[in-house]
Amino acid sequence: MNPFSYGTVVKEPHFFNRKEEKERIVSTLSGGNNLVLYAPRRYGKTSLVMHVMDSLTDLGFICIYLDFMIVYSRESFAEEYSKAILVHQSNLNKAIELFAKLVRGIRLKLSFDQYGNHEFSFDFSTVKISDKSLESVINLPDKLADKEKKFIIVMDEFQDIDKLNGENFEKLLRSKIQHHHNVNYLFLGSRTHILNDMFTNKNRAFYNSAAAMHLEALPKNETVNFLMNRFSLSNIQLNEKTASYLIEHAGNIPYYIQFLASEVWQYCINLKEVVNVEIIDVCASKILDLKSDYYFELFDRQTAYQKKLLKALANDNQNVFSTEYAGKFRLSAASTTQKALNGLISSGIIEKYENKYLFDDPFFKKYLLRLQA
Ligand SMILES: Nc1ncnc2c1ncn2[C@@H]1O[C@H](COP(=O)(O)OP(=O)(O)OP(=O)(O)O)[C@@H](O)[C@H]1O
Ligand SMILES: [Mg+2]
């Protein structure tokens, strides 16, 4: 079996390191504070947080996980959030009774499918959920928690809260959860600039409401060891230098490292070869071929100026507003570049990190470089 795994939340043996980060998150939350965790896409946020939740559960906390990606309206928030909370109650029938007492304007029913799995269905008394009902859903964990039974709520892809009537929902949520004494919150997301604005902009409801933590890339030496160990399980040789080459190729992003490693393993297991840089190049190229239709469409969707800028960024991602940069890549005024860049950032193609503009997907960058070749 392929010793690499990507695209899903990973556990050991596909997950390594992150011990210090895990301890810091656990101690912040168990100490009664809220935390916002920033990291670019595919750095391993959700996997890390699942480990954090296991530790907090062992410490006696009730951990609830909600992914905002699946929430598309205030009503769907109420449903998904209530479900996530109620399944943790030991007696479901009692939980339904409690729900009826605590939440007005929503009727909750419990049924069972043919396999005996429970299903919740929600009936809203009005087409649009009222602020009052929404508030009582938001307050649900605090009503169920007490000193002996504290809750930790994880809100993943939290920047997607923007979808829910923007700031109104944000304000409502913040105004309620600040009074929750037996519940702590962990917010995380991949669109770091949006999340950052939510927690550091004085005009936003969540301003200064949580301690902040940045998740960095995995340490290079440990990633090298991880790769060498995983390949050695199938008696495939990989030396340190070649492992570093693979990591560079994958933009040092955990997801792409395991994606590329998985292709390389597949290649080598058939041919019984020692891994070398040529094999890594061949496999990277194969990934580009596999994804080229998607990249073509993604590129095609951009404006003419954004296309020009993307090609420039693939070559050089520093000092993009300088006259030298504009001259080198035949760009217009800095204001035009800024506008185009904002568009690329808000569609999640580019992310600003320190003074550099990085591609979210290192293989899209390779695709653009290939277009020029
Ligand atoms: N600690 C780790 N050790 C090894 N691989 C990891 C680790 N964390 C993440 N990965 C790799 O990255 C992939 C993505 O992980 P995960 O879904 O947790 O990241 P994420 O930051 O939540 O991603 P997204 O931005 O898509 O939500 C995993 O499937 C795995 O291949
Ligand atoms: Mg995630």
Model confidence pLDDT, tens digit, residues 36-53? 999 989 999 999 999 999
Q: Can you tell me the mean pLDDT for 30-38?
A: 96
* Cα–Cα distance measured from residue 92 to residue 266, given in angstroms and rounded to the nearest whole number: 46
Cβ atoms within 10 Å of 34's Cβ, excluding its own: 21
Asked whether residue 354 carries a pLDDT value surpassing 80, the answer given is no
Residue 107: C-alpha distances to residues 38, 66, 78 (Å): 37, 21, 12
Q: What is the predicted pLDDT for the residue at 70?
A: 94
Collect residues with CB below 5 Å from ion ligand 2: 46
β-bridge pairing 62-67 and 35-38: unpaired
Is pLDDT larger for residue 147 or for residue 19? 19
pLDDT 10s digits, 165-180: 676 899 999 999 999 9
* Cα–Cα distance measured from residue 229 to residue 13, given in angstroms and rounded to the nearest whole number: 11
Q: What is the predicted pLDDT for the residue at 279?
A: 96
Contacts of residue 114, defined as CB under 8 A and 6 or more positions apart, other chains included, come to none
Asked whether residue 138 carries a pLDDT value surpassing 70, the answer given is yes
> Residue 110 forms beta bridges with which residues?
120
Q: How far is CA 37 from the centre of its chain?
A: 10
User: 228: CA distance to ligand 2 center in Å?
Assistant: 26
Q: What angle do CA 367, 368, 369 make, to 5 degrees?
A: 90
Cβ atoms within 10 Å of 361's Cβ, excluding its own: 21
Radius of gyration, alpha carbons of the chain: 24
| Shortest-distance Cα residue to atom 2 of ligand 1 | 15
User: 235: CA distance to ligand 2 center in Å?
Assistant: 32
Contacts of residue 104, defined as CB under 8 A and 6 or more positions apart, other chains included, come to 132, 133, 136
Q: What is the predicted pLDDT for the residue at 124?
A: 85
What single DSSP character describes residue 149? B
Asked whether residue 353 carries a pLDDT value surpassing 90, the answer given is no
* Cα–Cα distance measured from residue 225 to residue 218, given in angstroms and rounded to the nearest whole number: 12
Q: Can you tell me the mean pLDDT for 235-251?
A: 96
Asked whether residue 290 carries a pLDDT value surpassing 80, the answer given is yes
Mutate to test the pocket of ligand 1, among 51, 255, 263 (most ligand atoms within 8 A of CB): 255
User: 42: CA distance to ligand 2 center in Å?
Assistant: 7
**Is the Cα dihedral 289, 294, 296, 298 positive or negative?**
negative
Within 6 A (CB) of ligand 1 lie 5-10, 14-18, 39, 41-47, 190, 254-255, 258
On average, the pLDDT of the chain sits at: 93
Q: Can you tell me the mean pLDDT for 292-320?
A: 96
